Structure 1
Amino acid sequence: MTTADHTTPQADALPADALHADAVRALESWAGTDAAQERLRDDYLAHLAERPDGLWRSCLPAHVTASALVIDPAAGRVLLTLHPKVGLWLQMGGHCEPGDRSLAAAALREGVEESGIAGLTLLTVAGEGPAPARLDRHQVRCAGKDRPENTHLDVQYIAVAPPGARELISEESLDLRWFGYDELPEPTDDALRRLVAVGRALTA
């Protein structure tokens, strides 16, 4: 079970095949919260088994991405970004990059870059390092508005903000704000609401 312990992944980068191996390991060792999540995990693993390049933006029509929901448990709030392409309030996240040594590292990097909060840490499984909270598969036009939609196989983590954290909006966001657990903004989607509910429970 995921606990409220949190950590910052180490800084040494790994080669691309090691990132692929880490993604497989992270998904194989993760237990979904319900049958739908288990099926998604199996689909992600099948994708990675078929595609050695399955973590990269260039892998079409689908690729694995990583995201982090930034939570301030003491204040009972989450930090959300208004995504310029999707037009929804969402958690921080995006594509894996060559310098990422793990899915957790990719999620943490995205969280730090898009929130401006350097002291984020990820929730962990006791003694085993950061663990996903949920999976979400969705369609997005990340290759450009004139290009066909492709599929993001998103692996979602929970990032805990230090007390008194101050956010700083990035160029990748139209807006960046804190919202109470029961005061989520519109427009958003059910996937974000489910992720907030999981993060709230795990950090209670």
Structure 2
Amino acid sequence: GGAIIYWFTGASTQAVTTGAYRAVEFIKANIRLEGVEKASVSDSKKVVQICTQYAQKGMFNIFLAVFFVTLAFAFVEPFFFIGYLISIAVFGLYQAIFMDNAGGAWDNAKKIVETELKQKGTALHDATVVGDTVGDPFKDTSSVAMNPIIKFTTLFGLLAVELAVHLTGERGAGLTNSLAVLFFAISMYFVWRSFYGMRIGSQKA
């Protein structure tokens, strides 16, 4: 359960980072930031499209990984799955609190440098840009998305456990164990995609 939580925070941050990087690439290549001329509507829509595209790709991988790993653990053994639910809830709670506080601290530090210290454009301000590049994904993406992940795992997992118990009673433990291995292998593929398919160096995801 703890491993799933830490993987999820990394995968969601990776998706945000890659989408932001691609958007910045497009802006630098197609939009003039100097001067008073505003960006065209089509260019602005393209930036939104890029961000949406990578958000959807990231969540597609994450959802399927969570879906299949929940099935896998539910099919292993009911009490094993209970332990998984407890661990994902405990780890998820403290990880969400940590990421929300850390991300907020980073973001607020940047705002203090900009508004109170009036140091925008200086080396100090450059150092606090981490408040946007890391702090925002921490507090606005990974931490708040932990709740639906835990809820989905719990509600869907309970249904999956019921199905697994029914199959075990009718077909024996061999079938459910085989399905658990299959589901786990599928989930690991999407875990791999959530990182290596979303890397900045790769255009394909």
Higher relative contact order (CA 8 A, sep 6+): 2
Q: 1 or 2, which has the higher helix percentage?
A: 2
Larger Rg: 2
- What TM-score results when the alignment is normalised by the length of structure 2? 0.21
Structure having the higher strand fraction is: 1
Q: TM-score, length-normalised on structure 1?
A: 0.21
